[in-house]
Amino acid sequence: MMVKASILLTTLLVLIMRAHAASLPIRILTHNIRYAADPPSTGEKPWSARRQLLLNELHYHTLHNAQSFICLQEVLHSQLVDIMTSLGDEWAYIGVGRDDGKTKGEYSPVIYRPATWQLIKWQTVWLNEHGAVGEKGWDAGSVRIVTIGTFKHFHSNKTMVAMSTHFDNAGPISRRESAKIIQKVVANVTSEAASSSSTVMLPFFLAGDLNSETNGEAYKILNNNSSALQDTKEQARWVYGDQNTYTDFDDGDLSLIDFVFVGPRGVGDWKVEGYSVLPNKFEDRVYSSDHRAVVVDLMLRV
């Protein structure tokens, strides 16, 4: 009887180990870090005072997961230089400044470890009527973009797509139409021909600041039941932290507008273990940003 129990236990342990080995743990951190305003707004400290707080956050929350991705928004070139210098040579990024497709204007970069992920290809798509570089779309107050990268995990050979975006704060039409463009982008960049008669979508995630709450049109387009995307918060086994992600610099205008979506919906590529909203100030009362970071822990089937 003891022998049978021992065999049963060994078999169970092997199955658990195989199941674990068949999944890739990935941490996604997304944060609108607030551009380096000069002069800062009321209640806001300059980038020189906020910088180390942001750097500590990025280091700490990616310390023990080599598969981590960092997606940022509102990043000026000088801020990106600071961030990449601090993170060091083990990290690389994809992305461009939205105003000229080079270094002018805000970036929405995807930051990753090249020793873990092979970058297969990447692009930036401008969210306007014509997809034109540096052009505002519809009623937008600013130029808007999405950064897209296709990555292959060196150890498992698993391929996936990562995206970082920032929708317009002023234009509801721009937000709505940007969401529609994202849907088309997802369909295009994640489609992988499996045979002459079928198509398989690569697993993907979209992280960023939508400037749309969950009752907003842009969010509803991305997260409706017929969409390939699904909000990780509603799938998470564990939810931790604050409810809202935008605080301004006085906690007076709270809203949930920063998200991480995964897909394709209903396929089972992803298992969302945890979702959290991090604080953006501590006892020193210095806001690292007017947004809080969102961190999601997932298992990707390989």
CA 62 to CA 25: how far, in whole Å? 12
Res. 193: pLDDT tops 90: no
pLDDT tens digits, 38-87: 999 999 999 999 999 999 999 999 999 999 999 999 999 999 999 999 99
pLDDT band, residue 198 (cuts 50/70/90): low
pLDDT of residue 17: 41
pTM, whole model, 2 decimals?
Answer: 0.91
Whether residue 207 lies inside any domain: the answer is yes
Number of domains within the chain: 1
Whether residue 4 lies inside any domain: the answer is no
Whether residue 143 lies inside any domain: the answer is yes
Cβ neighbors of 224 (< 8 A, separation 6 or more) are: none
Whether residue 156 lies inside any domain: the answer is yes
Whether residue 10 lies inside any domain: the answer is no
The parent domain of residue 131 ranges over: 26-301
Whether residue 225 lies inside any domain: the answer is yes
pLDDT band, residue 290 (cuts 50/70/90): very high
Q: Element (H or E) spanning 159, and its range?
A: strand 159-166
Strand-pairing partners, residue 112, are: 92
pLDDT tens digits, 250-286: 998 999 999 999 999 999 999 999 999 999 999 999 9
CATH number assigned to the domain comprising residue 274: 3.60.10.10
Q: Which two tokens stand for residue 191?
A: 């489609």
Residue/partner pairs of 248-257 with CB below 8 Å, 24 or more apart: 248/43, 248/290, 249/41, 249/42, 249/43, 249/44, 249/287, 249/290, 250/42, 250/43, 255/213, 256/213, 256/214, 257/209, 257/210, 257/211, 257/212, 257/213
Res. 1: pLDDT tops 60: no
Whether residue 79 lies inside any domain: the answer is yes
Whether residue 141 lies inside any domain: the answer is yes
Contact 154, 116 (CB under 8 A): yes
Res. 288: pLDDT tops 90: yes
pLDDT of residue 13: 38
Which of 274, 275, 279 is CA-nearest to residue 291? 279
Verify cis geometry, omega within 30 degrees of 0, for the bond prior to 279: no
Cβ neighbors of 126 (< 8 A, separation 6 or more) are: 98, 132, 133, 134, 135, 137, 143, 144, 145
